[in-house]
Chain A
């Protein structure tokens, strides 16, 4: 009996709920090319970390010698120029520098921190919305609406436009899922394409408005930037805004949903978090190792031959950096399959590293810390209705499609601590 190639088994939906035994198998061949012309999968922690800092690795799709057609590639149907996620220096650096001037230190050191109260209010509102229900879908009712609301506030989308905005984003994100793409319902894909255009037009208009009358939000900063790199063009602002939307959305949904799932599977930490909100910092870091929202980076190529563990990866090859496998590498982590926020060797590849290290990491951390802390504080006796929960199709951005839990009660919100 022959078994399907390992990489195909990893992307096979049947293994979505628990790919970790497959990653363990993968690490036995730390540099693996299974099929002629296929990607080289790299799965050990230190190799991945090394390649994330290796200037022979490109993120620019233009360097692919083979067409970008496997099931893990994102559709590039935005009609916009590539965002900095898919660019190399120097263009990458320029755009990311400008974006960062509107987002973090040294120019906007308080951008994230000043959102703290706002985030807490959004979380409280969503949990209040559970009402008297005894069963809750943490994904649909909480994790999904949360990040898009946050991004609206961050970019500066007016409150009254939020429902429209979220409608478009929901359609676009749904269309990104391989499940939807494979089923290929033409009607739905047209609707999603339509949503994309409307979102683009809406953002373009908002950008123009902010250029005329700047406010204290990211879009205003992006178009008004007077730094040494100048401002972004309108198209570049749009690419960047769409990148923040797409990259910041499903990853955060998954981080929160994976987090709640993991806490319910390890109730001692759920109880400890309820008593000690400060533990949320360690819990979220360990989650990023144990159940990373981005399982692998499938879109890098090498622009020169790279020798790794005696294997030469030829120039032009596609490389998969399997972050989730590196995160459980016993060479780096003691007892790697144990969820242990107390571990001394806390660390992870969950946000990547090097020049493409997650742009939104400080925001994602804060969102997940607040979300999990408040969920466990306010849900009385939460328990999983089904384990494992149903997963999304996506093998790269892996997370539950639904996370149905039963509760005895939803406690009223007290004074917000944050």
Chain B
């Protein structure tokens, strides 16, 4: 059947299956219907809940300002879908075009979208992870459990890992008046995502808010009492911290285990796909009926050297789901590339942190507005003479400008005058990212590999 004709049939009566019933899955389902898909639609999710929003779980929910039961994602339109919730997908047969479920059932598809996202990386020592009082935070159920324990006024909360989630948890605990210790392998919080210069500001932020922050240390073990409750954490510097709650915040693992042996190019770094969200098989050949979106996808981005980016960003999940949905029901010429500008936000200790671009690619940073000491600033990251990212602390209204600078490949260092440029912001300094060959945790962006340039894309070259 010619391409055009096939897609017409697909839109009319095809079968689309979406594995993953969270933000990306839901938005893709809605976009499929908005795009005129009239066939059968099935959503498969391993959690029993309707799609819900995760950002509040580490913020308002922990503070008791929002109920974890009431973070459902707003429905933007009818999906008329069959929902298979509480049943995990366990396998994929790409030849027979079927998804296997945990209950033994098989669901056939004409087009498949994989949006299985990530899960919290558990504490690696299983017996210690089982101790009562040891938590991770990713799902609504995690949030319910942790919130209940925080509400019981523990004497101390011990957070392992000062990435965004760990920092937000520490912030929520301090706002509740709880004693908090945070242990971080790097020299400061957020170093993996934003570098050492910003990490130093984040460290001050933690300490000024009463967090007992331990940097440059790892946790060597968690100790339980006779009843199986956690009672202390042992650190690599020999110190011991008494605690009755431990939150393991060591980043995420991509949910690709169920694809083992499927022949898809899936692994611990996610599922590789092209800019049109089509998955690669393990040989590196692109499929045409399996699509990927959200945190689990790794997708080449032309603005960032065509590197395959995995972005654990809310906005990326939405944008990529829409592109994937569009491309699933469109013939070749009508397809669109996913060109989302990486952007994320965090709220901690009363500070709004926002970033655009890929800070981790930055070699240098300069503070173009405001001041690090006041913790209100915009920092711009440079990579090989061009602007590659920007971060703001309580200054997010300027970031649209820097996003345009990134898109245009504007030169770095930033020479022109800006309002509120301080003497400290006149020269770039090393951004202070750790050596990428050393293991670290919690960066929101992982960089790896290259793909050949997609010749159909035209970008405005840098002007310098």
Contact = CB atoms under 8 A, between A and B. Distances in A.
A88 B419 contact: yes
A116 to B, nearest CB: 23
B417 A56 contact: yes
Contacts of A304: 416-418
Nearest to B422: A90
A373 interface: no
Q: Which has the most chain B C-beta neighbours within 10 Å: A50, A53, A55?
A: A55
Contact of A354 (B376, B397, B404, B416): B397
B369 interface: yes
Contacts of B398: 53, 55, 354-355
A54 B378 CA distance: 12
B397 A303 contact: no
**Which secondary structure dominates chain B's binding surface?**
mixed
Given A89-B419, A89-B420, A304-B416, A355 B370 contact: no
B416 A93 contact: no
B400 A303 contact: no
B401 interface: yes
Contacts of A305: 416
B397 A50 contact: no
**Which secondary structure dominates chain A's binding surface?**
loop
Q: Which has the most chain A C-beta neighbours within 10 Å: B369, B398, B420?
A: B420
Contact of B400 (A53, A60, A89, A315): A53
A313 B405 CA distance: 17
Contact of A50 (B374, B378, B401): B401
A49 interface: yes
B401 A55 contact: yes
Interface size of B as a range: 10 to 19
B370 A89 contact: yes
Contacts, number: 51
Interface in A87-101: 88-90, 93
Contact of A55 (B374, B376, B420): B420
Given A50-B404, A89-B370, A303 B376 contact: no
A304 B415 CA distance: 10
A86 to B, nearest CB: 13
A327 interface: no
B79 interface: no
Interface in A140-163: none
A304 B369 CA distance: 14
Contact of B420 (A50, A53, A54, A88): A88
Interface size of A as a range: 20 to 34
Contacts of B416: 56, 304-305
B376 A90 contact: yes
A53 B419 contact: no
A299 interface: no
Contacts of B404: 50
A98 B419 CA distance: 20
A388 B376 CA distance: 49
B171 to A, nearest CB: 14
A93 B416 CA distance: 21
A58 interface: yes
B22 interface: no
B191 to A, nearest CB: 26
A55 B400 contact: no
Given A55-B369, A89-B370, A355 B418 contact: no
Interface in A55-77: 55-58, 60
A284 B397 CA distance: 24
Contact of B397 (A49, A53, A57, A315): A53
Nearest to B420: A89
A203 B404 CA distance: 44
A55 B370 contact: no
B400 A58 contact: no
A286 to B, nearest CB: 21
Interface in B391-439: 397-401, 404, 416-420
B9 to A, nearest CB: 29
B368 interface: yes
A54 B397 contact: no
Nearest to A355: B397
Nearest to A90: B420
Contact of B368 (A50, A55, A88): A55
Interface in B164-200: none
Interface in B149-174: none
A315 B400 CA distance: 21
Interface in A30-68: 49-50, 53-58, 60
A225 to B, nearest CB: 16
Contacts of B368: 55
B336 to A, nearest CB: 19
A305 B416 CA distance: 8
Nearest to A356: B397
Given A89-B369, A89-B370, A93-B376, A54 B417 contact: no
A303 B401 contact: no
A51 to B, nearest CB: 9
Contacts of B400: 49-50, 53, 354
Nearest to B371: A90
Given A49-B400, A93-B376, A355-B398, A303 B418 contact: yes
B418 to A, nearest CB: 4
A315 B415 CA distance: 14
Interface string A351-394: 00111010000000000000000000000000000000000000
A57 B400 CA distance: 14
Contacts of B374: 90
A57 B417 CA distance: 10
Nearest to B369: A55
B420 to A, nearest CB: 4
Q: Which has the most chain A C-beta neighbours within 10 Å: B368, B370, B401, B419?
A: B419
Nearest to A63: B419
A367 B281 CA distance: 58
18 contacts: A50-B400, A50-B404, A53-B397, A53-B398, A53-B400, A55-B369, A55-B401, A55-B418, A55-B419, A55-B420, A88-B419, A89-B369, A303-B417, A303-B419, A304-B416, A315-B417, A354-B400, A355-B397
Given A55-B378, A55-B420, A354-B397, 16 more contacts: A50-B401, A53-B398, A54-B401, A55-B368, A55-B369, A56-B417, A56-B418, A57-B419, A58-B419, A88-B420, A89-B419, A89-B420, A303-B417, A304-B417, A355-B397, A355-B398
Interface of B: 368-370, 374, 376, 378, 397-401, 404, 416-420
Question: Which 8 residue pairs are nearest across A and B when measured between Cβ atoms?
Answer: A55-B418, A304-B416, A89-B420, A53-B400, A88-B419, A53-B401, A304-B417, A303-B417
